[in-house]
């Protein structure tokens, strides 16, 4: 009986030694794989020996690093959490339960909790910072809260200010970017100088012959618009009323006709967009106007004028830049069926 007990004890201790030797060998292999920048092998070694290696903090640390190197932050977080609890549960609990701003050093000087807290704070902050619109809101909130929670613990264990700032900056930067990408509504008024050319036809009432006339208008506009903008784009819907005077004459064969200082009015409505590709003060974009134009040209006796009222649609290429709280905007484009370009230069004010 005694012999049996002795043999059992002998083989138990022998197997423990063998096991420990195997574990150490595997840890060395994991480290070697990390040194050779082969993180997949680290995970493989761990998976093949999980039962033993999961009880060893050195193996778990290497596993966590291998996940980090492959940007597998969630997996790394899970491993570091294991390293905190159950491996350092008592000290961790004591730190959490303490109300002191800085806990006694003996709670963390003999373990690696500050290091694990930093990793958990940093990785959660990374997860939050790299989250996108397809990541559920609950998960994104969880990452942020976890990062903030571990930051608090880091403060308690007197962590380096730079480390705290790094993590905090990651979180704040993400919040800032999200805020910038959210669309905000506002209104604006505009005033500009505008010019365009119209085609009007002089019709001989007897023969029905149509002679083309060209009218060149220049005037000013006032307008109102609503826009939705974020850090990159701006979308708007705008209405503008223009009052101009024109000179009209024939430019081809036909009866001589000329009239000047003729009032012309137009209403232009339409959506547009701007792209803030280059800076937050310079915008380049496109507007898609629809216009209704009326002109008070007079027809001589025996003639009538066609297209006194006209609707049209077209496009403007537009540029605006911010100067001292207002925007200077220029537009160049075309409204069909007008024969020539439509341009304007003006100022916008947001409110």
Partner 1 sequence: MNKTLYIYFLIIIPLFSGKAYAYPHFIGHGYNSCITCHYNPFGNGPINDYGRSVSGTAIAGRDFYDENKPEELIANETAFFLKDYISKSLKPFIGYRGMFYKSNLGQDGSKVEFINMQLDGNLVAKFGSKDQYIMSGTFGYAPIPRSLKNTPAGDAMKEYRSREHYLGIRPSPNWGVYFGLMDKPFGIRVAEHTSYSRISTQLTMDDQAHGALLHYSGTSLELGLNAFIGNLASKSDVQTKGFAGTFEQTVFEKNRIGASILSQKNTYLKSTALAIHTRSQITYGTSVLFELGQVNKTPVNGTTPRKENYALLQNHIKTKRGLYFLNSMEYFKNSLDNSYKVRFGPGLQYYPFSKLELRADVYNTRNFSRDSNSADRWDLLMQLHAWF
Partner 2 sequence: MISKMSLICLLSFSSLSFASDITVKMTLSPAGSFEAKTTKVHGDVIKSGEKYTAESLWVKVDDLKTGIDLRDEHFHKHFNSEKNPKITLNNVVATAGKGSGTLTVNNVSNKVDFTYKVISDKKLEALLKVKPSAFKLPEVKYLEIGVDDEVEIVTVVDVK
Q: Which of 18, 96, 218, 224 binds partner 1 (CB under 8 A)?
A: 218
Distances, alpha carbon 55 to alpha carbons 30, 83, 97, 276, in Å: 15, 10, 26, 54
* 286 binding partner 1? (CB under 8 A): no
33 is written with which tokens?
């794989």
Mask for 226-255, x = binds partner 1 (CB under 8 A): ------------------xx-xxx-x----
Instruction: Report what 78 binds from partner 2, partner 1, none; CB cut-off 5-8 Å by kind.
Output: none
Within its chain, how far is the Cα of 212 from the centroid?
51
Reduced to 3 states, what is the DSSP secondary structure of residue 166? helix
Is 231 in contact with 280 (CB distance < 8 Å)? Answer: yes
Q: Which of 279, 301, 309, 351 binds partner 1 (CB under 8 A)?
A: 279
Mask for 170-199, x = binds partner 2 (CB under 8 A): --xx--x-----------------------
Kindly give, in sequence order, each residue whose CB lies less than 8 Å from that of residue 142, ignoring residues fewer than 6 positions away.
Answer: none
* 149 binding partner 2? (CB under 8 A): yes
Is 242 in contact with 194 (CB distance < 8 Å)? Answer: yes
| Cis ω before 337 (30° cut-off from 0) | yes
Minimum CB separation of residue 155 from partner 2 in Å reads 6
Q: For residue 59, report the phi and psi dihedrals to the nearest 5 degrees.
A: -65, -40
Minimum CB separation of residue 288 from partner 1 in Å reads 18
Instruction: Give which of 236, 306, 318, 228 is closest to 269, Cα–Cα.
Output: 236
Minimum CB separation of residue 150 from partner 1 in Å reads 37
* 188 binding partner 1? (CB under 8 A): no
Q: Which of 195, 241, 286, 350 binds partner 1 (CB under 8 A)?
A: 195
* Cα pseudo-dihedral 31, 34, 38, 44, rounded to 10: 40
* 20 binding partner 2? (CB under 8 A): no
* Spatial separation of the C-alpha atoms in residues 67 and 86, rounded to whole Å: 20
For residue 236, how many other CB atoms are within 10 A of its CB?
20
* 55 binding partner 2? (CB under 8 A): no
CA atoms within 13 A on the CB side of 216: 5
Instruction: Report what 151 binds from partner 1, partner 2, none; CB cut-off 5-8 Å by kind.
Output: partner 2
* Spatial separation of the C-alpha atoms in residues 60 and 63, rounded to whole Å: 5
* 341 binding partner 1? (CB under 8 A): yes
Mask for 119-158, x = binds partner 1 (CB under 8 A): ----------------------------------------
Instruction: Give which of 90, 79, 158, 87 is closest to 119, Cα–Cα.
Output: 79
- Site stretch for partner 1 (CB under 8 A), options 142-150, 223-231, 287-295, 337-345: 337-345
Instruction: Report what 321 binds from partner 1, partner 2, none; CB cut-off 5-8 Å by kind.
Output: partner 1
Q: For residue 216, report the phi and psi dihedrals to the nearest 5 degrees.
A: -110, 120
* Spatial separation of the C-alpha atoms in residues 63 and 78, rounded to whole Å: 11
Minimum CB separation of residue 87 from partner 1 in Å reads 44
- Site stretch for partner 2 (CB under 8 A), options 41-49, 159-167, 229-237, 341-349: 159-167
Contacts to partner 1 by CB under 8 A: 193, 195, 197, 214-216, 218-220, 244-245, 247-249, 251, 258, 260-261, 277-282, 284, 317, 319, 321-324, 326, 328, 330, 332, 339-341, 343, 345, 347
């Amino acid at each position: 009986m005694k012999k049996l007990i002795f043999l059992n004890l002998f083989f138990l201790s022998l197997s423990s030694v063998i096991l420990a030797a195997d574990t150490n060998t595997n840890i060395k292999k994991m480290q070697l794989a990390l040194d050779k920048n082969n993180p997949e092998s680290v995970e493989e070694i761990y998976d093949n020996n999980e039962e033993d290696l999961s009880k060893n903090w050195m193996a778990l640390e290497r596993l966590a690093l291998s996940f980090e190197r492959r940007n597998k932050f969630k997996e790394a977080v899970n491993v570091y959490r294991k390293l905190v609890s159950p491996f350092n549960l008592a000290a961790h609990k004591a730190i959490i339960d303490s109300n002191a701003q800085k806990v006694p050093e003996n709670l963390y000087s003999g373990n690696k909790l500050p290091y694990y807290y930093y990793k958990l704070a940093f990785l959660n902050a990374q997860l939050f910072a790299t989250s996108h619109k397809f990541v559920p809101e609950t998960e994104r909130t969880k990452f942020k809260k976890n990062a903030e929670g571990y930051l608090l613990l880091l403060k308690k264990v007197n962590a380096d200010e730079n480390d705290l700032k790094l993590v905090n900056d990651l979180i704040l930067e993400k919040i800032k970017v999200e805020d910038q990408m959210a669309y905000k509504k506002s209104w604006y008024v505009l005033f500009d100088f505008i010019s365009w050319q119209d085609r009007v036809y002089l019709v001989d009432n007897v023969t029905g012959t149509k002679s083309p006339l060209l009218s060149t208008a220049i005037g000013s506009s006032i307008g109102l618009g609503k826009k939705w903008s974020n850090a990159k784009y701006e979308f708007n819907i705008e209405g503008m009323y223009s009052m101009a005077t024109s000179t009209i004459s024939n430019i081809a064969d036909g009866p001589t006709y000329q009239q000047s200082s003729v009032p012309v009015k137009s209403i232009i409505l339409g959506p547009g967009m701007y792209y803030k590709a280059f800076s937050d003060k310079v915008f380049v974009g496109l507007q898609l106007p629809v216009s209704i134009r009326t002109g008070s040209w007079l027809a001589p006796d025996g003639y009538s004028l066609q297209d006194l009222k006209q609707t049209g649609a077209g496009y403007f290429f537009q540029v605006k830049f911010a100067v001292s709280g207002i925007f200077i905007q220029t537009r160049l484009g075309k409204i069909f069926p007008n024969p020539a370009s439509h341009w304007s230069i003006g100022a916008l004010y947001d409110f």
